[in-house]
Amino acid sequence: MMAEKKIPAKMNFEAAMQRLEEIAEQLESSSSSLEESLKWFEEANQLITFCFGKLDEAEQKLKILVKEQDTFKLVEEAE
């Protein structure tokens, strides 16, 4: 099994999506080896997982928005 490439701690959703686009372009246009294609696929899979996590976080924040007298405010989650 190949070594896992770690997602940089400073990466944000937009940067991850940009990298996914780059990987997709490489896979579509390249005549690279199977090994290289597998590395890109593994990286893409990690980025997809990261992006879904960020989307889940955003969804949870939106779910805790409550309407108070025609305005919205973010209610902090109790931990």
Measure the CA–CA gap between 17 and 61, rounded to whole angstroms: 21
Token pair for 54: 């960020």
- Please name every residue paired with 72 in a beta bridge, in sequence order, or none if there are none: 67
Q: What's this model's pTM, rounded to 2 decimal places? A: 0.72
Structure tokens at 13: 């959703």
Tens of pLDDT, residue by residue over 13-61, are: 999 999 999 999 998 887 888 999 999 999 999 999 999 999 999 888 7
Q: Count of CB atoms within 10 A of residue 35's CB?
A: 8
| Cα–Cα distance measured from residue 36 to residue 31, given in angstroms and rounded to the nearest whole number | 10
